[in-house]
Amino acid sequence: MPVARRRRVRRPLAEEGTPPPLSASVARTVRFEEVDQLRMMWHGRYAGWLEDGREAFGLRYGVRYADFHDHAVIVPLKTLSIDYKRPLRYGETYLITASLSWSDAALLQFTYAITDAEGREMTLASTIQLMLSPEGVLLLEHPPFFNDFRAAWREGTLCP
């Protein structure tokens, strides 16, 4: 019988000379509506939790989804990878940390760590989001507002 292989969460390799990733965190508590009959976090809710991490990141660094929308840029998910290490249970508190890695391509590469109240790694994840025009055409360059964000990131005026 073949042995199932566990897929690893993609972690972008930092290229020499690029700024370190930027991170933001948000604390949450597992709600009753998010658990299955075993009172364990239902796997289908994790995508929403990652969204919470991206929202916290956008608020902290001024690159919210509304900012992309206001500049006529769509940022849909292309890939999503989740490595469930330990289950979270009803009532437990946890921290979602979303980290954006530098990319010269017009995309967003996030990695995520979900940790419990004791700091144990519960889940690791990664996403890639493309930057598209409103017509769905892939952008080959970052939009000007995002270039401003990248310039501040490179200059070190954003706190990692």
Tokens of 133: 């025009």
Number of domains, the chain: 1
Range of the domain at 140: 22-155
What pLDDT is stored for residue 2 in this prediction? 45
CATH number at residue 44: 3.10.129.10
For residue 160, being part of any structural domain is answered with: no
What pLDDT is stored for residue 9 in this prediction? 56
Q: Is the pTM of this model over 0.95?
A: no
Instruction: Provide, rounded to the nearest whole percent, the portion of the chain with pLDDT above 70.
Output: 89
What pLDDT is stored for residue 5 in this prediction? 45
What pLDDT is stored for residue 3 in this prediction? 43
For residue 55, being part of any structural domain is answered with: yes
Q: What is the mean pLDDT of residues 126-136?
A: 97
Query: Alpha-carbon torsion 74, 75, 78, 83, what sign?
Result: negative
